[in-house]
A and B are shown apart, each in its own frame.
Chain A
């Protein structure tokens, strides 16, 4: 007689970076069914926006997620630009595209490192984390921050790409072309990594369509779907992008964790190519339509309507819908649908028939961002930040140290010249 047991993985689990609960029904070690219960970090960020002006919400939207903060800010901005009919100068569009690809690079590097950690391949994990530092330095060089860049604004961007930054970015592109390949080969040609990832957490092409899977999760199931191709925005209108699908590289699609790994790894090279084209084609001119924020705010106060912003974020399509009411200072309502929100619905399908030990890997394989899905995570910042080792650090000291680090990077990256 077989007996099934129900056990929870999460909300707090060593294999998971953020809280989510999967209730797994087990027959021995085999997963027979799964129910996912999010909600552990829902903070009502959309509700908070109702008391903030559109410009304040840009910075609120960046706090949805630390990894794809620019994607969320840009998606919100594009929704407002859609309803208010604002246009963006060509240079602004190209810089936005550059930051989007830097962010994708950062996100995929982080994920492929963490995926190695999840299967116990810690040396590859550390290599991945080391590789990730370079792109974070470029982001810090451009914006002053490693996350939450504050670079997007209505009608363009807030920071220009200087010749020095373009040079540093080209150096970074060369660095990754040289240094990323060994990492890819170490993992993708490792028989143990193969054994852990091949035919694990399979999502068939048919199910990916029916369950509205998106981004690398959908492409790993063989769908040639990428908003940069089917609905080009910003500079993607001038720079063609072809969706990366596993059948083009392996001749066959498995729709498993290894395919999801391969799609992200191959998209790293694609991002490098796109960045190079952006830098080659960077148009001259202004990078923002209207630098005076008071004028922007006054025109948005008169705007009325509902706008839809949709972009290909690192984990899939990111959708924001915004309503502004004429005469109202604040955002009337705002809906965020992060890619994880769509991909998480497919988890129960991926679990079925797999071993219990693979559950954290399957959860991580869609590159979940639970605080994206639930919009916002607040911590007290004590203990796990890596900065506070002992004693108490005041806010002023922390800000001072962060600024000092940015100055150090600027001095190192630009050979000591002022920006």
Chain B
């Protein structure tokens, strides 16, 4: 695998068809967002929002690498709350085809991580630039990244009580009495 951005791009529809053919039912949901701009308000690009089964995340990411070196942006996440969906949802945000004019495709991969087993395979070996984001998700949501070499806190202070996960909306989240209202 060479660490290089390719000089050519493929259309988003071709990419979608290829991914659907390869992953079938492992793709739980797929949405396309158009990006329009300019005086004529024409389409300038597309973002794919794909939800995949947790087991398919790593093969899906590796498949993206066969098209172009994947540029990683960030992982966002949300606690889906208790009930039927007792999950932490993680959204991985990537770009493909950055070298090309108007060719960039944004790919956001959503994975539901059940709270009974909060772990994901780390992508640190493929994308070392994801280190801070994986560490941040770990300290904020309590998701363990298997294979991440450095699991130290990144933004929270050294004396932080690691039982408290700041972005969770359940009992492990910050209790109202430890939140200081500024105004």
Contact = CB atoms under 8 A, between A and B. Distances in A.
Interface in B31-47: 33, 35-42, 44-45, 47
A299 to B, nearest CB: 18
A47 B104 CA distance: 31
B42 A237 contact: yes
Interface stretch (A140-148, A225-233, A260-268): A225-233
Contact of A308 (B36, B93, B100, B167): B93
Nearest to B9: A230
B131 A230 contact: no
A42 interface: yes
A210 B166 contact: no
Contacts of B182: 48
B153 interface: yes
Contacts of A323: 78
B76 interface: yes
Interface residues on A, range: 35 or more
**Category for how many chain B residues contact A:** 35 or more
B154 A87 contact: no
A212 B35 CA distance: 23
A44 interface: yes
A212 B45 contact: no
B130 A212 contact: yes
Given A87-B41, A232-B44, A283-B39, A345 B106 contact: no
Contacts of B101: 229-230
Contacts of B153: 39
Contacts of A231: 35, 44-45, 95, 102, 104, 106
Contacts of B36: 87
A227 B104 contact: yes
Given A212-B71, A224-B99, A230-B100, A93 B128 contact: no
B78 A332 contact: yes
A337 B74 contact: yes
B76 to A, nearest CB: 4
A342 interface: yes
Interface of A: 37-39, 42, 44, 46-48, 82, 87, 90, 93-94, 206-207, 209-213, 223-225, 227, 229-238, 281, 283, 306-308, 310, 317, 319, 321, 323, 332-333, 335, 337, 341-342, 344-346, 374
Interface of B: 3-5, 33, 35-42, 44-45, 47, 49, 69, 71-74, 76-78, 91, 93, 95, 97-104, 106, 108, 127-133, 152-157, 166-167, 174, 182
Query: Lowest 6 A-B CB distances belong to which pairs?
Result: A237-B38, A212-B129, A335-B76, A337-B74, A237-B37, A231-B104
